């Protein structure tokens, strides 16, 4: 049950609890920039990495920005599984939890991430769907806010990966200044 990453690391899915040192930002940025949100059912390619950049831009505090950037990090290793499918696969949810807890620990962030991250992520998902689907799904109605300009940029996966890494290092630098 070995998974090979972009950087050449071997992640052993049979012992995720001991693999935290293998969940590195380069693999996360690369993986998320190449995975399409909404299982590819949107009107244009919009990566999970792009989504994480948008979510991160909604926060001012650097720790919240970093948590928002990393909130889908497990998907770099497991793919973006739609919520209606994910809830049917308890083992997926367990592995997702373990990977995210390891990523949080590796980045000196609290785990679980603050509730505001998940609340804004849910609201953002609705607003993204309103803008990315030709027919707005029923679950996406209700939430609304103006999306930051970065949402509307047509970005390649390489651009997203670079922006993801730049945002990561900017957050880390801002956090270190406060210490």
3-29: average pLDDT: 97
pLDDT in tens, 115-132: 999 999 999 999 999 999
Query: What confidence tier does 177 reach under pLDDT thresholds 50, 70, 90?
Result: very high
pLDDT for 144 = 82
- H, E, C per residue of 151-177: HHCCCCHHHHHHHHHHHHHHHHHHHHH
Average pLDDT for the chain: 96
Q: Is residue 23 exposed (0-12), middle (13-18) or buried (19+ Cβ within 10 Å)? A: buried
36 forms beta bridges with 47
Tens digit of each residue's pLDDT (9 = 90 or more) over 125-173: 999 999 999 999 998 988 888 999 999 999 999 999 999 999 999 999 9
d(CA 19, CA 119): 28
pLDDT of residue 65: 98
- The pLDDT of residue 5 is 97
The listed CATH number (3.40.50.1860, 1.10.3720.10, 1.10.1740.10, 1.10.3210.10) that belongs to domain 8-172: 1.10.3210.10
The string of DSSP codes covering 65-94 is HHHHHHTTTTHHHH----HHHHTT-HHHHH
Candidates 69, 67, 31, 42; CA nearest to 53 is 69
Contact predicate 126/138, CB 8 Å: no
What are the backbone dihedrals phi and psi of residue 68, each rounded to the nearest 5 degrees, phi first? Answer: -65, -40
Q: What is the pLDDT of residue 169?
A: 98
3-state helix, strand, coil in the chain (%, to 5): 65, 5, 30
Question: Which sequence spans correspond to the domains of the chain?
Answer: 8-172
Average pLDDT of the residues in 32-38: 97
Average pLDDT of the segment spanning 85-106: 96
Q: What is the mean pLDDT of residues 55-70?
A: 98
Longest dimension (CA), the chain: 47
pLDDT over 90, % of the chain: 92
How many residues are there in the chain? 179
Looking at residue 145, its pLDDT comes to 85
Residue 178 pLDDT > 90: no
- pLDDT, position 30: 98
């Amino acid at each position: 049950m070995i998974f090979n990453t972009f950087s050449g690391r071997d992640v052993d899915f049979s012992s995720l609890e001991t693999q935290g040192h293998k969940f590195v930002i380069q693999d996360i940025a690369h993986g998320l920039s190449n995975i399409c949100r909404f299982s590819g059912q949107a009107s244009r390619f919009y990566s999970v990495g792009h989504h994480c950049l948008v979510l991160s831009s909604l926060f001012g505090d650097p720790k919240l920005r970093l948590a928002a950037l990393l909130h889908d990090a497990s998907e770099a290793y497991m793919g973006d599984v739609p919520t209606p499918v994910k809830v049917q696969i308890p083992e997926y949810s367990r592995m997702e939890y373990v990977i995210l807890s390891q990523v949080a620990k590796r980045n000196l962030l609290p785990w679980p991430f603050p509730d505001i991250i998940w609340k804004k992520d849910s609201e953002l998902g609705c607003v993204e769907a309103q803008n990315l689907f030709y027919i707005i799904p029923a679950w996406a109605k209700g939430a609304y806010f103006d999306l930051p300009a970065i949402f509307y940029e047509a970005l390649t996966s390489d651009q997203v990966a670079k922006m993801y890494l730049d945002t990561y290092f900017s957050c880390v630098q801002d956090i270190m200044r406060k210490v």
